[in-house]
Chains A and B, each alone.
Chain A
Amino acid sequence: MESVGRLARRFGLSRTALLYYDRIGLLRPAARSTGNYREYGEEEVRRLEEICRYRRAGLPLSQVREVLERGAADRTAEVLSLRLEALNQEISRLREQQRIVVRLLQGRARMRRVRAMDKARWVELLRRSGLSDEDMERWHVEFERLQPAAHQDFLESLGISPEEIRRIRAWSRKGAHI
Chain B
Amino acid sequence: MSRHATKQEWIELFQKTGLDRDQMNRWHHAFEQFYPEAHQGFLEWLQLPAKEITEIRAASKKEKP
Residues of A in contact (CB 8 Å), total 31
- Residues on B with C-beta less than 8 A from A136 are 17
A150 at the interface (CB under 8 A from B): yes
- Residues on A with C-beta less than 8 A from B24 are 129
Q: Which of A116, A149, A152, A157 lies in contact with B35, CB distance below 8 A?
A: A116
- Residues on A with C-beta less than 8 A from B44 are 110, 113
List chain B positions with a Cβ less than 8 A from chain A: 1-5, 9, 12-14, 16-19, 23-24, 26-27, 30-31, 34-35, 37-38, 40-42, 44-45
B38 near A114 (CB under 8 angstroms)?
A: yes
List chain A positions with a Cβ less than 8 A from chain B: 110-117, 121, 124-126, 128-131, 135-136, 138-139, 142-143, 146-150, 152-154, 157
- Residues on B with C-beta less than 8 A from A111 are 41
- Residues on B with C-beta less than 8 A from A146 are 9, 12-13, 16
Interface of B is mostly: helix
Known: A125-B27, A135-B18. A147 touches B38 (CB 8 A): no
Extra pairs beyond A136-B17, A147-B13, A149-B3 (19, CB < 8 Å): A110-B45, A112-B41, A113-B40, A113-B41, A115-B41, A116-B38, A126-B27, A128-B27, A128-B30, A129-B19, A129-B24, A131-B17, A138-B16, A139-B13, A142-B16, A147-B9, A150-B3, A154-B5, A157-B45
B5 near A150 (CB under 8 angstroms)?
A: yes
Q: Complex Cα distance A136/B27, Å?
A: 13
B41 near A153 (CB under 8 angstroms)?
A: no
- Residues on B with C-beta less than 8 A from A135 are 17-19
Q: Could you give 18 example pairs across A and B, Cβ below 8 Å?
A: A116-B37, A116-B38, A117-B35, A117-B42, A125-B27, A125-B31, A128-B30, A129-B23, A129-B24, A129-B26, A129-B30, A130-B26, A135-B19, A138-B18, A139-B17, A147-B2, A147-B13, A157-B45
